[in-house]
Chain A
Amino acid sequence: MIGQLDLSTLQHIWWIITSLVGSLFLFLTFVQGGQTLLLTLAKGDDEKSLVVNSLGTKWEITFTTLVLFGGALFAAFPKFYATSFGGAYWVWMLILFTFIIQAVSYEFRKKPNNFLGTTVYDVFLFINGSVGILLIGTAIGTFFTGSAFVLNEFNQVTWQTPLRGLEAAFNFFNLSMGLFFVFLARTLGAMYFVNNIDHDRLTEKSRRSAWVNFLVSLPFLLYVLISLLVMKGFAINPETGEVFMQKGKYLMNLFGCPVTLILLLIGLILVIYGVAVTYVQRKDHGIWFSGVGTVFTGLAIFFLAAFNNTPFYPSTADLQSSLSIANASSSHYTLTAMTYIALAIPFVLGYIVYVWKLMNIKKLSLADVTSDDKAY
Chain B
Amino acid sequence: MIEHVDLSQVNWARAQFALTAMYHWIFVPLTLGLSVLLAFFHSIYVKTGNEEWKRLTKFWMTLFAINFAIGIATGIILEFQFGTNWSNYSWMVGDIFGAPLAAEGIFAFFLEATFFAVMFFGWNRVSKGFHLFSTWMVAIGSNLSALWILVANGWMQYPIGMQFNPDSARFEMQNFWEILFSPVAISKFTHATSSSFQMASLFVVGISSWYLLKGRHQLMAKRSIVVASVLGILASGYVAFTGDEAAYSVANKQPMKLAAMEGLYDGEKGASIAAMGIVNNAKEPGDKQDAFLFDVKIPGLLSLLANREFGSFVPGINDLVFGNKEQGIVGADERIAKGKMAIEHLTVYKEAQKHGYAVQAEQALNEFNKYKDDIGYGYLNKPADIVPPVATTFYAFHIMVILGTIFPLVFLLFLIFIKKGTLHSHRWLLNLGLACLPLGYIATEAGWVVAEVGRQPWAIQGLLPVSVANTNLTTGTVQTSFFMFFALFTVLLIAEIKIMLTQIKNGPEEN
Contacts and interface: CB of A to CB of B under 8 A. Distances in A.
Nearest to A105: B69
B495 A116 contact: yes
Nearest to A338: B99
Given A60-B117, A89-B84, A93-B481, A108 B106 contact: no
A152 B332 CA distance: 29
Interface string A48-80: 000000001110110110111011101110110
Interface residues on A, range: 35 or more
B348 to A, nearest CB: 13
A192 B500 CA distance: 32
A172 interface: no
A71 B173 contact: no
Interface in A128-155: 153-155
Given A74-B82, A341-B103, A115 B94 contact: no
B494 interface: yes
B120 to A, nearest CB: 6
Given A67-B79, A358-B130, A97 B121 contact: no
Do most interface residues of chain A lie in helix, strand or loop, or is the interface mixed?
A: helix
Interface string B109-126: 110111111101111111
Q: Most A CB atoms within 10 A — which of B91, B116, B130?
A: B91
Interface in B466-485: 471-473, 477, 481, 484
Do most interface residues of chain B lie in helix, strand or loop, or is the interface mixed?
A: helix
Interface residues on B, range: 35 or more
Given A78-B95, A344-B107, A71 B101 contact: yes
Contact of A82 (B90, B112, B506): B90
Contacts of A64: 105, 109-110, 112-113
Given A74-B98, A86-B83, A355-B117, 11 more contacts: A78-B94, A79-B94, A103-B72, A104-B73, A107-B69, A108-B496, A116-B495, A157-B472, A333-B173, A337-B173, A345-B106
Contacts of B173: 330-331, 333-334, 337
Interface in B24-61: 58, 61
A87 interface: yes
B293 interface: no
Nearest to B62: A374
B176 interface: yes
A374 B477 CA distance: 41
A89 B102 CA distance: 22
B102 A108 contact: no
B83 A84 contact: yes
A68 B491 contact: no
Nearest to A100: B73
Given A111-B503, A116-B495, A348 B98 contact: no
A246 to B, nearest CB: 26
Interface of B: 1, 58, 61-62, 65-66, 68-70, 72-74, 76-77, 79-80, 82-88, 90-91, 94-99, 101-107, 109-110, 112-118, 120-126, 130, 134, 165, 168-170, 172-174, 176, 350, 354, 471-473, 477, 481, 484, 488, 491-492, 494-496, 498-499, 501-503, 506, 511
A75 B104 CA distance: 11
A57 to B, nearest CB: 4
Interface of A: 56-58, 60-61, 63-64, 66-68, 70-72, 74-76, 78-79, 81-87, 89, 92-93, 96-97, 99-104, 106-108, 111-116, 153-159, 164, 330-331, 333-334, 337-338, 341-342, 344-345, 348, 351-352, 355, 358-359, 361-362, 368, 371-374
Contact of A72 (B102, B169, B496): B102
